Amino acid sequence: MIVDSALYRDGVRVPLDCTIDDLSRLRAECDETNEFVWIGLHEPTEAELERVAAIFNLHPLAVEDALMAHQRPKLERYPDSTFLVLKTLWYVDETDAVETGEINVFTGRDFVVTVRHGKGAELHTARLMLEQRAAVLSHGPSAVSYAVCDRVVDEYLKVAGELEIDVDEVEASVFSEEETDETERIYILKRELAEVRRAVLPLREPMNRAATGAVAGMPMDAAPYFRDVADHLGRVAEAIDTLDSLLSSAFEAQTARISLQLSKVSAQQNEDMRKISAGAALVLVPTLIAGIYGMNFDHMPELHWFFGYPFALVLMAGVSLYLYLRFKRSGWL
């Protein structure tokens, strides 16, 4: 749907007696060099976007990308327009998740068309703030591109701040005295950092080009504004790299703690097995002696000896005592 449409002259919104959908008339009103049109769309249908493309002569390939969404951040130059793709991010604290959307920006000599997908980074606030800064808005369509980029990158900073809080919580849990397992949460956070990285890193090259005035169709006096955006984008990239490194260290510490716990369990099991084996040996030897002398054969040695029974008892006790002392000395008991 078409969210808003307006004509700007010398950085000031011009009130027009036309509906928000009357794009042809709005386009016809823009006939001076210091004027431009800004059309804002949110998840338009194919028919709506084709209608806008026909009025502003947008390139079919860029229109297809804007309709399908799920594009990689990029900046492309076509004969009559520039096409910029931005990934929008917002953070869901309940699930430690980073959700993504997309904004596509078409800019020409006298028009800007923004196509937004998803709930993140609404542009109405950016439009109102830009309308209060006539000096910036007087730069034309490039000012709108700057405002959109600045709005999106500011959200990146907020997301990075939320992720930093989560990483601090993971570190505190991993290095606490309590035995906790943060492996799953570490994996989730690293996956979300990868999502942020996919939005941030491809955008750095287009912003650096805009910051140096290397983008055709963007005036050089707009470059300082894009340098500010590029600086913020660099801060986000550095923060994400740092957080990813901290999570890797926390994961290694968590793995070492788990390995240590398993080693302790294994050592305790070995200790228990030694005690069980020693106890079994103490029972086995007397049982063996009793079993042999209880077979009741007539021609067994010492079978009718008067001291045979006391001797068997003493033998059992002596061997058992010997084994007990050896096991005790070796630490098995």
CATH number at residue 287: 1.20.58.340
On whether residue 265 sits in a domain, the answer given is no
b or e along 89-108 (b: 16 or more beta carbons within 10 Å of the residue's beta carbon)? bbbeeeebebbbbbbbbbbb
Q: Are residues 170 and 230 in the same domain?
A: yes
How many domains does the chain contain in total? 2
Same domain, 289 and 218: no
**For the domain that residue 9 is a member of, what is the CATH number?**
3.30.460.20
State whether 234 and 293 are in the same domain: no
For residues 221 and 88, what is the distance between their CA atoms, to the nearest angstrom? 26
- Residues 170, 238: one domain? yes
Distance of CA 183 to the CA centre of its chain: 14
**Are residues 212 and 137 both part of a single domain?**
yes
Token duo for residue 253: 């510490």
The model carries a pTM of: 0.75
* Residue 10 belongs to some domain of the structure: yes
pLDDT in tens, 243-252: 999 888 888 8
Q: Which domain holds residue 310?
A: 271-330
Per-residue pLDDT band at 215 (split at 50, 70, 90): confident
Mean pLDDT of 168-180: 81
User: 112 - beta bridge partners?
Assistant: 38, 107
In a domain, 225, yes or no: yes
- Domain shared by 235 and 97, yes or no: yes
Pair 130, 87 in one domain: yes
At 25, list the tokens: 């008339």
Domain shared by 322 and 239, yes or no: no
Q: What does the pLDDT average to over 114-132? A: 84
Rounded distance between C-alpha atoms, residue 316 and residue 333, angstroms: 19
CB 63 within 8 A of CB 46: no
Dihedral Cα 103, 130, 201, 237, nearest 10 deg: -140
Report in angstroms the alpha-carbon separations of 235 from 47, 240, 305: 40, 9, 97
